[in-house]
Homo-oligomer: A and B are copies of this chain.
Amino acid sequence: MPLHCINTLPPNRTMPNSLFADIPDELPNELMETLAEGSGCRVERIVSRGHRSPERFWYDQEESEWVLVVKGEARLLIERAGETEEVAMTAGDWIDLPAHTRHRVEWTAPDEETIWLAVFHP
């Protein structure tokens, strides 16, 4: 009786996308890409490598931003109730920034990518 190979895999295999793929060697600016978008909701990947917000620049956004550090390290400055707070973030850390919460990226790791996953929502 001949041996035969039994393929236990389904015939159709789909490759998922990866947040760790397609990162250029050179990143003169942060890389921002929209991964999904529905009415009032947008998922973005942001890749930083030592980038920080320009001096005296603060984000002040119309949308709320839920943001996760998937890989790397970063420090945000956030204004809340007139006070400036620092938030140090590493892989797995997330924060939800309500619309018009003034914030800036104070530091990102210089020697590796920091990969952010941002969900902008109403």
Contact = CB atoms under 8 A, between A and B. Distances in A.
Interface of A: 9-21, 35-41, 43, 64, 66, 68, 70-71, 77-78, 83-89, 92-96, 117, 119, 121-122
15 contacts: A10-B84, A10-B85, A12-B84, A14-B78, A16-B95, A18-B94, A36-B121, A38-B122, A40-B40, A41-B41, A41-B119, A43-B66, A43-B121, A70-B92, A71-B92
Given A16-B94, A18-B94, A43-B119, A64 B38 contact: yes
Contacts of A38: 40-41, 64, 121-122
Contact of A117 (B64, B68, B78, B87): B68
Contacts of A10: 77, 84-86
